Structure 1
Amino acid sequence: MSDQLPFFVYGTLRPGLHNHARYLAGRCTRIRPAVLTGAALHDGPGYPFLLPDPAHRVVGELLTLRAAQYPQLLALLDELEGCRTDGTGLYVRERLPVTVRGTGLAELAWVYLAGPAAAARLRERPALIASGDWTLPHGTTLPG
């Protein structure tokens, strides 16, 4: 299995937002709307976090990066997300199945989840974004 999986992005790395423009614009070969089930979206200090949660889903995009730039972009994204190899960073990167919207097909993708310290804080003081979509006003809910 190749480690060059697409990335599921749900916050500032989404197309049209500042970190996408800074890090990913022009470096993607494919961008598709997608949904991650079994995770809840929580508001953070200017960026969101994901926590595993079977009752929720998160809306975002599935980005396929240019193969020649993949190793460099992976390292850059891990650094941006504070992802450490020992699993103690701000985020942890995991392989998870993500559903491409409109097709019902699931694909494995890299997903950044809240790291241990952020996850513990959010379990104590949840900041759930009910819609599961960080680009919508946070009081919005989406139908089923």
Structure 2
Amino acid sequence: MTTAEPYLPFFVYGTLRPGQRYYQRFLRGRTVSERPALLRGALLYDGPGYPYAIAGDGTITGTLIEVAPADHAELLAALDALEDYLGPGHPRNVYDRLVRDVLVEGRPVRSWTYLAAPGPARELLAGGTPIPGGDWLSRPERPAPPVPRTP
């Protein structure tokens, strides 16, 4: 992250959406608006307890989150750490933080959006599990793994 990042709202599509675990930890009580939004030109894939968005011919359902300007820089740094984003083009990025237009009530709004970095995106395309419909909250629930029994 550079020192002078633009103030933009965040498009969130997984565990940062309202009611989800990382929303509670990072965003609850710090938002000034939360609006339903769509990201076109992207596909959603299931991950180990969280989703990945990659460029593709689809639409992802999410939420556009606006935070108070006074909280923006601190929250941007915290979300970069959560998303394993080390900076533009860094080879160890899990996600890249990019400026993308999302649709809110049919109108484009520029936002920060985390998409899978090139390495994870290639792996997802080769063998990942797409989330039909592009909505993390409506994905089929996976059964819990069996609990090992001790003799």
TM-score with structure 1 setting the length? 0.90
2:46 aligned with 1:43: yes
Please list the CA deviations of residues 3-31 of structure 1 after superposition, one character each: whole Å capped at 9, or x if unmatched.
11000000000000000000010111000
Q: Pick one of 98, 106, 110 that aligns with 1:94.
A: 98
Q: Pick one of 17, 22, 25 that aligns with 1:22.
A: 25
Letter aligned with residue 25 of structure 1? R
Cα distance between partner residues in 2 of 1:133 and 1:114: 16
Q: Is the 8 A contact 1:38 1:57 kept in 2?
A: yes
Cα distance between partner residues in 1 of 2:88 and 2:106: 34
Letter aligned with residue 116 of structure 2? A
For residue 149 of structure 2, what is the aligned residue in structure 1?
none
1:138 Cα deviation after fit = 3.3
For residue 33 of structure 1, what is the aligned residue in structure 2?
36
1:126 Cα deviation after fit = 2.9
Pairwise CA RMSD: 1.3
For residue 117 of structure 2, what is the aligned residue in structure 1?
115
TM-score with structure 2 setting the length? 0.86
Q: Which runs of 5+ in 1 are unaligned?
A: 140-144
Q: Is the 8 A contact 1:130 1:138 kept in 2?
A: no
1:86 Cα deviation after fit = 4.2
Size of the aligned set, in residue pairs, is: 135
Q: Percent of pairs identical after alignment?
A: 41
Q: Is the 8 A contact 2:132 2:139 kept in 1?
A: no
Q: Is the 8 A contact 2:44 2:131 kept in 1?
A: yes
Q: Is the 8 A contact 2:40 2:102 kept in 1?
A: yes
Q: Which runs of 5+ in 2 are unaligned?
A: 142-151
Greater shift, 59-68 or 115-124, is seen at 115-124
